[in-house]
Amino acid sequence: MADKRRHPRVYPDSGNPVEIQIMGKGFLDIIFAKDISIKGIGIEVPHKFEGSDIDHPIELIITLPPNSCFKASGVIKHSNIEQTRKGIFGVQFTSIQKGYEQILESYITKRISEGGLA
């Protein structure tokens, strides 16, 4: 099956994870990214966003290694709970703090050059 994504996504380096503070209706968590692209992020959430629906808005604070921290907004776009029971979700960014798109693009380019393509 061909990957339909328009933008490459990368796995964070296991020794330098991408930390995410995620805030939504009824929850606040600090987790680590499974993968990331310029348009979204893959995350595993232990509580599986119980009580939230697809397209539910969330706020994120993302810390890219070594210490670039920025705010983003997004919506929960898909999950694979039925397939894996782990609570893995895709979040589509709806906005990224001004000036940080280029920093995110640079991080993704660096991870691709290091073999981190997802």
Quick check: is 14 in a domain? no
Q: Which domain holds residue 93?
A: 19-113
Quick check: is 77 in a domain? yes
Quick check: is 118 in a domain? no
SS3 of 37-67: the string is: CCCEEEEECCCCCCCCCCCCEEEEEEEECCC
Q: What is the pTM of this model?
A: 0.84
Quick check: is 12 in a domain? no
In the chain, the number of structural domains is 1
Distance CA 49, CA 54 (A): 10
Distance CA 89, CA 107 (A): 21
Quick check: is 27 in a domain? yes
What is the CATH classification number for the domain harbouring 24?
2.40.10.220
Distance CA 11, CA 118 (A): 6
pLDDT for the residue 5:
60
pLDDT for the residue 7:
86
Quick check: is 36 in a domain? yes
**42-55 tens-digit pLDDT:** 988 766 555 556 67
Cβ proximity of 85 and 45 under 8 Å = no
Quick check: is 9 in a domain? no
Quick check: is 54 in a domain? yes
Residues in the chain where the model's pLDDT stays below 50: 1-2
pLDDT for the residue 2:
44
